[in-house]
Structure 1
Amino acid sequence: MKQQKQQFMSILNRKPIVLIIVTILGLFSTVNAQQALTKGQSLSAKEQSIIDISALTAKGDLEKLKTALRRGLEANLTINEIKEVLVHLYAYCGFPRSIRGLQTFMEVLEERKAEGITDSIGNNISPITQTTPKYQRGKNILEVLTQTPQSDTLTGYAAFAPTIDTFLKEHLFADIFERDILTYTERELVTISVIASIGQAEPMLRSHLTICLRIGLTPEQLQQFISLIQSNLGKNEADSAQIVLDEVLATYKNK
């Protein structure tokens, strides 16, 4: 104890006490800043569960999906939020996968109820009261997501088959994205998870990964998304998604 006191007095003699306090506070500040940065660069438990549930539903791995659904509820996703995830993904992988996901979720809820677990239902969807035509509403939402004005002149596949452009804007971006149970960020996590799972849809994955960056997801979070795809689906799906992500990040960095 005497030796420690002598060492402490020696430090005080070498440095003014104010400087020592400032140094200590600076160290704490640095640690706190690093912790905040790390936290900000990580997907939340709820976001990770959204990715897991979406990927496994799209792939049709119902046994693993059951585990992911349980984890999602334990991560404080509400019943209505998970239902909305399973409804949203139908637009990207079809009714059969979506309905099987919903049926599997019903089984999980019944099992948990039998175990005496009461899960939170959560908020109900708010009614859509806008009177603007759905095509324009969908176009407006697409502009928000892409941060790019949408031309009135159709090109590419939209010009080739204008009906798909109508469905895309009126149904996907108005009927679905306009619903308020999930945020735009959460809906994009569902979207990229499904697209990475079905494969052979690189142009669409590229577009939605770019949207993810524009609405605030970080490169670190998208890299974590790739890791979750590998954990849930395997190396092939993760490698394919990684190639697209690398291209997106390289392009985005140079803008």
Structure 2
Amino acid sequence: MTTGQVSDRFARGQARLEEISGQDAQAFTESLRDIAPDLARYVVEFAYGDVHSRPGLNAADRQLAVLGALVAQGDTQEQVRRQTGIALHVGLEPRQVVEAVTHLILVVGIPRVLNALVAVRAAIEERGLKADPIEVGANTERQRDRYAYGEARLRQIAGDDGVTVIRALDPIAPDLGRYIVEFAWGEVYDRPGISVRERQLATLGAMIGFGDTPKQQKTHFKIALRQGLTPEELVELVVQVAPKAGFPRVLNALAGLREVLDERGLTV
């Protein structure tokens, strides 16, 4: 794109990209100039000029949702590396990024998280940084009765709705319900490093990016509201995922969010 052809949207997008990624912004557009210059323009204008420049959600929160969506899709290591760099540039600490990605084993499984962490490590090391690992020692209270500990944490975070979801598994797969309570809620959601609110940003980004998770998305939209995310912030979270996951998955997520807000008499 020549100087005379630069649109307001492109200028806004380039400015936003430079603001959140620093020196990497120019390298990205140059990397596509010889093969797909229009794609570079679409990314700058739409993903950054239109979407990432919107108000309603800060840059760090947007990056948690973006990383969730990318990790969920798999085979996106280069994009995870780039977006980790942006996350670090906008103020997330290395250990926060690592913890957010680790949390996603609950949504996308261990293999995709392991692959993503290779890219996260590369981005951290490229910047001369180090992620001080979070290692949780033995929790005496949890080890005494893992299920009771997990259920208490589930009620604290998700309320009675979360327990109802688990109880529904009793007639067909009670052990799966037990695993979810003990591992997901008693161990992973109990970890330090990031807040439950931040975990919900990454979780919902991953569920939307993964697709085919309408019931789970509704459950976690409810949890997000309980953790202080506003209806406006949740709409922005969904919109932010559009450039990474595509319009169909985002439209489906918005339909589920609308149902949750309507059930609670909330508006945007």
**Band of TM-score, shorter chain:** 0.7 to 0.9
Q: Does the 8 Å CA contact 1:42/1:220 hold for their aligned counterparts? A: yes
1:145 Cα offset (Å): 1.5
**Alignment of 1:42 onto 2:56:** yes
Q: Does the 8 Å CA contact 2:211/2:249 hold for their aligned counterparts? A: yes
Could you say if the C-alpha distance between residues 73 and 230 of structure 1 is closer, same or farther in structure 2, counting changes exceeding 3 Å? same
Matches within 5 A, 1:26-65: 42-60=56-74, 61-65=76-80
Q: Does the 8 Å CA contact 2:147/2:181 hold for their aligned counterparts? A: yes
Q: Does the 8 Å CA contact 2:68/2:202 hold for their aligned counterparts? A: yes
Report runs of 4+ in structure 1 exceeding 3 Å deviation. 120-130, 149-155
Could you say if the C-alpha distance between residues 234 and 150 of structure 1 is closer, same or farther in structure 2, counting changes exceeding 3 Å? closer
Q: Does the 8 Å CA contact 1:125/1:181 hold for their aligned counterparts? A: no
> Who is 1:68 aligned against?
83
Q: Does the 8 Å CA contact 2:141/2:149 hold for their aligned counterparts? A: no
Matches within 5 A, 1:78-227: 78-110=93-125, 112=126, 117-119=127-129, 121=131, 124-125=134-135, 127-132=137-142, 133-148=145-160, 155-227=167-239
> Who is 2:40 aligned against?
none
1:152 Cα offset (Å): 9.5
Which consecutive residues of structure 1, in runs of 5 or more, have no partner in the other structure?
Answer: 1-40
Could you say if the C-alpha distance between residues 151 and 79 of structure 1 is closer, same or farther in structure 2, counting changes exceeding 3 Å? closer
Paired letter, 1:54: G
Paired letter, 2:117: L
Paired letter, 1:56: L
> Who is 1:18 aligned against?
none
Q: Does the 8 Å CA contact 1:123/1:181 hold for their aligned counterparts? A: no
Q: Secondary structure at the match of 2:207?
A: helix
1:217 Cα offset (Å): 0.5
* Aligned mates of 1:186, 1:159 — CA distance in 2: 33
1:208 Cα offset (Å): 0.5
- Please list the CA deviations of residues 173-218 of structure 1 after superposition, one character each: whole Å capped at 9, or x if unmatched: 0110000111111111121111111111111111010111111100
Task: Compute the TM-score of the two structures, normalised by the length of structure 1.
Answer: 0.75
> Who is 2:31 aligned against?
none
Which consecutive residues of structure 2, in runs of 5 or more, have no partner in the other structure?
Answer: 1-54
1:130 Cα offset (Å): 3.9
Identity fraction in percent = 22
- Please list the CA deviations of residues 17-55 of structure 1 after superposition, one character each: whole Å capped at 9, or x if unmatched: xxxxxxxxxxxxxxxxxxxxxxxx833322211111111
Q: Secondary structure at the match of 2:169?
A: helix
Instruction: After superposing the two structures, state which structure 1 stretch, 72-81 or 129-138, moved more.
Output: 129-138
Could you say if the C-alpha distance between residues 149 and 159 of structure 1 is closer, same or farther in structure 2, counting changes exceeding 3 Å? same
Residue-pair matches, total? 209
* Aligned mates of 1:245, 1:191 — CA distance in 2: 14
* Aligned mates of 2:132, 2:95 — CA distance in 1: 6
* Aligned mates of 2:161, 2:212 — CA distance in 1: 27
Could you say if the C-alpha distance between residues 85 and 162 of structure 1 is closer, same or farther in structure 2, counting changes exceeding 3 Å? same
Q: Does the 8 Å CA contact 1:85/1:190 hold for their aligned counterparts? A: yes
Query: Which of 72, 77, 94 is the matching residue for 2:92?
Result: 77
1:74 Cα offset (Å): 0.7
Q: Secondary structure at the match of 1:181?
A: coil
CA RMSD of aligned residues (A): 2.3
Paired letter, 1:137: Y
> Who is 1:252 aligned against?
264
Could you say if the C-alpha distance between residues 231 and 150 of structure 1 is closer, same or farther in structure 2, counting changes exceeding 3 Å? closer
Greater C-alpha Rg: 1
Task: Compute the TM-score of the two structures, normalised by the length of structure 2.
Answer: 0.71
